[in-house]
Amino acid sequence: MQRIILLLTLALSLGLQAQSQPRYYTDSDVRQRIVNFNVYGQPGTQFRRIGTDLNGVQPEVNDRFLSRLNGETGFSVDFNLRPLYLGVGVGQSWINYGHRLENDDVTDVQARYWAIPMRAGLVTHLSDEVTLEAWPTVTYRRAISFEHSAYPNPIFAPDFWTAGIQVGSTVAITEYLSFVLMGVMDYGFNDLEAGASWREYSELPLFFGVRAGLRVSL
């Protein structure tokens, strides 16, 4: 009986020693994530920047811009081309805003666009579960519908480009699935109301939002 207890004690001691020893891996043993699939939703809002004339003079503004709730949903794929990630996606944007004129009349715009974002990312792994990420982004948007409360047939830009950045992090839920949360800023290069008759200046859209979604990494 004493021999059996001694053998069990020795086996337990060897097992504990083996568990406390660190394990080492070569690069070939470490899983490399090659592609990410992302789904996201992005609530946000919109502001404007008044375009200057050819002499760099900013014109007088005779209205007040009214920010409203905007949104975007979509799907994207990112490829790990070390040290960068490159990605492309497709989604839809809902853009809402208004103007309060000098006579206190309010005009509203409700528009919907296809969105094709293209981005390059720098991803830093803070731990096995958390990453810190920055993604410079260029997005092409194509109009689906454009409604103006004052004009039944408004003149609008059929498409426009934006450039911006997404900064945030991911938190791993499982080995393959992560939760993504990012702040987003996008600057537009076109006046959405191209040829607006009630103002002589151009206004360029500036978008801010928060992007939340899920990522599957393979």
Q: Model-level pTM greater than 0.85?
A: no
Predicted pLDDT of residue 59: 79
Q: Which of 148, 140, 149, 142 has the alpha carbon at shortest distance from 193?
A: 148
For residues 79 and 119, the answer to whether their CB atoms sit within 8 Å is no
The string of pLDDT tens digits covering residues 8-39 is 454 445 554 544 455 554 444 445 678 999 99
What's domain 34-217's architecture? Beta Barrel (2.40)
- What the block records as the tokens of 113 is 């666009």
Give the whole-angstrom CA distance, residue 218 versus residue 205.
Answer: 36
Predicted pLDDT of residue 57: 75
Predicted pLDDT of residue 133: 96
Give the whole-angstrom CA distance, residue 50 versus residue 39.
Answer: 33
HSE, side-chain direction, 13 A CA sphere, residue 57: 3
Give the whole-angstrom CA distance, residue 102 versus residue 58.
Answer: 19
Predicted pLDDT of residue 8: 43
**Residue 48 pLDDT > 50:** yes
**Residue 160 pLDDT > 70:** yes
Give the whole-angstrom CA distance, residue 96 versus residue 89.
Answer: 22
| Cα–Cα–Cα angle for 74, 80, 82, rounded to 5 degrees | 145
